[in-house]
Amino acid sequence: MKKFSEMPLKAELVEAIHRVGFTELTEVQERAIPVVLSGKDAIVRAKTGTGKTAAFIVPIMQNTPQSNAVNAIIIVPTRELALQVAQFSEQLGRYTHIRTTTVYGGASINVQISNLRRGVSIVVGTPGRIIDLIDRGILRLDNVRFVVLDEADRMLDMGFIEDIDYILTKTPMKKQMLLFSATMPQPIITIAKRHMEPDYATIQVGAEEELVVNTISHEYTFAKGRMKFAALLAYIGQYAPKKCIIFARTKYESEIIYDLLIRQGLNAMLLHGGLTQAKREYSLDTFRKGAQFMVATNIAARGLDIADVTDIINFDAPETAHDYVHRVGRSARMGKEGRAFTIFGLDERRLMEDIQYDANIRMSELRLDLDKYNNFQMPETRRHSFGYGEQGSGRFRPHMRSEGRYGHSENRSGGARYHGGRYGHNRYRGQR
């Protein structure tokens, strides 16, 4: 493997990388950094947890002068990911004297405005707040040379594409577009091409049909209503996961699961888009520092790099194979092992088969001792209002306030989600 010291990088940048603790390049870095340095647009696909962040931050830093104009804008789908990417950029910038700032919703815009006014070279942010700051005339992108879409397929899908198009109209014609993700469905590549020079590079690390790292095992069970909770508790009881993210479909359901775990005396955190930003950051922070569980919606599915997550539990199956790939990719990072367990509804056999087919993985059925774990009480406050425990009804009231930009997968009510056609309403119909 190549070392950063062998790359055509400024001495102070190599020093900065060493101080962060990296010496050798990962495969995606080895392949992407030279291409980014060459000035080409690029679509880079590499599996979760393989070091994509450094693959764009490092070459951008190499070509960022110490000036007050914004040279690079890095756009990501969630606030927590913005913070994480910015943190890495800031770490390097401390030694290269290149300033990074982060802009995202839910936090004081005035603080962000004064950070921007101080003059920064690299901006990491989420689309809504970026647009707000552009429209206020505070964030000027006239001198931008690099635009990065991290989790690019997410940034170009229906939830975000209009925002991205708008932001791009504020950047110069001549710039470098850099798209990174673990998944790049063909329809999204078609959209991406509209924004790229015809000679753009495609970097594909690993075989195209391999989306998931092979250090994750995949298991499932079928259950509905109250038995889903029994399955969850049985898994926890039988396997004692060390550090575990539990994904739920809605904010609302994540709260129920969270309440249940707390009642069981478990050390759990909660992360969903209906919480204040301060709470979101506290939850993630505490989970990073060692809480055993984090119950989350899909906002935690993309990009977050949390050390040593051993288990991913999909309390509800994700809607698409791509969602599955990203959720389970929060574990087994940088060659570590991970275990994924998905609870499918009784009517979701087809979804299970589709996920296996589309993500190119094999799942095995897990036998859990449900009877032993079925003597729990649902949290009082929700029990009556939401109908748990009544003949295993798995229905949730679709009353959740829409949370806008990445809310659609959080707010869909149970059952309406997967219609059973081979790909259901999946936009990536027929893609592998």
Comparing C-alpha atoms, which of 355, 359, 317, 325 is closest to residue 231? 317
Point out which residues bind Mg ion (CB under 5 A).
52, 303
26 binds, among ligand UDP, Mg ion, none (CB under 5 to 8 A by kind): ligand UDP
What tokens does 202 get? 């495609």
CB of 64 to ligand UDP, least distance (A): 19
* 333 contact choice in ligand UDP, Mg ion, none (CB below 5 to 8 Å, kind-dependent): ligand UDP
Where are the strands (E) in 76-228, listed by range? Answer: 100-103, 122-125, 146-150, 176-181, 201-204, 216-222
User: What residue is closest to ligand UDP based on CB?
Assistant: 53
Which partner from the list Mg ion, ligand UDP, none does 239 bind, CB cut-off 5 to 8 Å by kind? none
Instruction: Give phi and psi for 322, each to the nearest 5.
Output: -65, -40
CB 302, min distance to Mg ion, A:
8
CB of 195 to ligand UDP, least distance (A): 21
Q: Which is nearer to ligand UDP, 24 or 353 (CB)?
A: 24
Pick 303 or 407: Cβ nearer ligand UDP:
303
Tokens 């707390």, residue located: 262
Q: Which is nearer to Mg ion, 52 or 228 (CB)?
A: 52
Per partner kind, with CB cut-offs from 5 to 8 A, the member of ligand UDP, Mg ion, none near residue 316 is none
Q: Which is nearer to ligand UDP, 177 or 223 (CB)?
A: 177
Q: Which is nearer to Mg ion, 241 or 303 (CB)?
A: 303
Q: Are strands 293-296 and 268-271 parallel, antiparallel or unpaired?
A: parallel
Q: How far apart are CA 276 and CA 282, in angstroms?
A: 10
- The distance of closest approach from Cβ of residue 329 to ligand UDP in the complex, given in angstroms and rounded to an integer, is 7
Comparing CA positions, the residue from 244, 276, 264, 320 lying closest to residue 256 is: 264
From the list ligand UDP, Mg ion, none, partner contacted by residue 297 (C-beta under 5 to 8 A by kind) = none
Specify whether the CB–CB gap between 76 and 151 falls below 8 A: yes
What is the 3 state secondary structure string of 344-370?
A: ECCCCHHHHHHHHHHHCCCCEECCCCC
* DSSP code for 207: -
Sign of the dihedral through C-alpha 69, 74, 78, 79: negative
Q: How far apart are CA 115 and CA 277, in angstroms?
A: 19
* Residue 203 beta carbon to ligand UDP: minimum distance, rounded to whole angstroms: 12
Closer residue to Mg ion, CB minimum distance, 44 or 246: 44
Residue 49 touches which of ligand UDP, Mg ion, none (CB < 5 to 8 A by kind)? Answer: ligand UDP
Give Rg (Cα) of the chain: 22
Rounded least distance, CB 325 to Mg ion, Å: 13
**Shortest spacing between CB 248 and ligand UDP, in angstroms:** 22
CA distances from 214 to 8, 51, 186, 282, 322 (A): 32, 16, 23, 32, 16
Residue 12 vs residues 80, 122, 230, 350: alpha-carbon distances, Å: 28, 17, 54, 53
Q: Using the minimum distance from each CB to ligand UDP, give the nearer residue, 226 or 326.
A: 326
Smallest gap from residue 359 Cβ to ligand UDP (A): 16
Site residues, ligand UDP (CB under 6 A): 22, 26, 29, 46, 48-54, 305, 333-334
User: Which does residue 342 bind out of Mg ion, ligand UDP, none, counting CB within 5 to 8 angstroms by kind?
Assistant: none
Using the minimum distance from each CB to ligand UDP, give the nearer residue, 22 or 166: 22
Contact of residue 183 among Mg ion, ligand UDP, none (CB under 5-8 Å per partner type): none
Strand-pair category, 338-344 with 268-271: unpaired
